[in-house]
Amino acid sequence: MQARAGLELMTSWSVICCSWLLTSLYIRFNEQYVPHDPVMSGCLPSNPWITGDTMYWTMNAPTVTAPTKLRVERWSFGFSELIGDPLGRVQLLEFLKKEFSAENLSFWEACEELRYGEQGRIAEIVDSIYQQFLAPGATRWVNIDSKTMERTLEGIKTPHRYVMDDAQMHIYMLMKKDSYPRFIKSDLYKNLLAEAIIPPETKRRVFPFMRKPRHASPSPALQQLPPGDSEGRAEPEQPEGGT
Ligand SMILES: *[C@@H]1O[C@H](CO)[C@@H](O)[C@H](O)[C@H]1NC(C)=O
């Protein structure tokens, strides 16, 4: 009986701990991402889904010369955010070049090309990756552990689009653990953040009969909260015209 009660107590404790953990993870995720959600927080210069002004999309195109502050900020959330953004990769490559480790990122990009590339070119791309990055004495040789290398060399005898997966993951983890933290702390990143643009809000009303364009509220990036003031968030909007 005692053992049973003990087991039940342990079970309920683990349920409580688990839900506490999930809740705090959820809250952390929200604190990070809600300011980046156009629906939850509005977006600048204006919300294209509401105003019909497509400037927002133009400013956030995959490659632009001047990224927005929200976008650059997002790169600091995690390595996947940085490497998933074409513009983030351009900056990471700049940084890695200075450290003479740009091969890592070039290899990762070549593997992406293989993964999403044309079926007919797979053998050719695999061969080019091998010649450039993996062959003994390759000009852009990347350092992969011997086990992964062995498996990859075995795999490329019958090339397919996922044959570089292990090697790509290995290099991804190297960059994530080593290069990424240094990138985020670098002057290069700090300058990008300082120079990033905060688009001014466009005050165009497509529907003059509406009192104000909904969700065209300024982005939280505009709110310069004094340090320590965490209560400066906007009040949630009251639902209009209840039945
Ligand atoms: C790849 O990244 C690791 C970790 O940052 C580094 O030690 C290594 O020198 C890099 N290799 C190349 C070839 O860039």
pLDDT at 35: 82
241 has pLDDT over 50: no
Distance 60 CA to ligand 1 centre (A): 31
Residue 156 inside a domain? The answer is yes
206 has pLDDT over 60: no
Same domain for 159 and 190, yes or no, is yes
Find the domain containing 53 and state its range.
43-66+199-220
**pTM of the predicted protein model:** 0.72
Pick from 242, 98, 61: nearest CA to 179: 98
pLDDT tens-digit map of 94-118: 999 999 999 999 999 999 999 999 9
Pick from 131, 142, 210, 221: nearest CA to 174: 142
Tokens encoding 6: 């003990």
230 has pLDDT over 90: no
Please tell me the total count of domains within the chain: 2
Whose CA is closest to atom 11 on ligand 1?
101
CATH number at residue 91: 1.10.167.10
Same domain for 112 and 164, yes or no, is yes
**Nearest 10 degrees: Cα torsion 165, 171, 175, 178:** 130
Task: Give the Cα separation of 68 and 193 in Å (integer).
Answer: 9
Average pLDDT (182-195) is 96
Residue 220 or 184, more confident: 184
Distance 73 CA to ligand 1 centre (A): 25
Same domain for 107 and 210, yes or no, is no
214 has pLDDT over 60: no
Residue 71 inside a domain? The answer is no
Ligand 1 mutation pick, 96, 104, 142, max ligand atoms within 8 A of CB: 104
Q: Supply the DSSP symbol for 45.
A: S
Pick from 189, 191, 210, 213: nearest CA to 202: 213
List C-alpha distances in Å: 193 to 66, 152, 188.
Answer: 11, 39, 9
Contacts (Cβ under 8 Å, ≥6 apart) of 207: 213
Q: Under a CB-based contact definition with an 8 Å cutoff, are residues 63 and 229 in contact?
A: no
221 has pLDDT over 70: no
Distance 93 CA to ligand 1 centre (A): 13
Same domain for 132 and 177, yes or no, is yes
Residue 170 inside a domain? The answer is yes
Task: Give the Cα separation of 147 and 170 in Å (integer).
Answer: 11
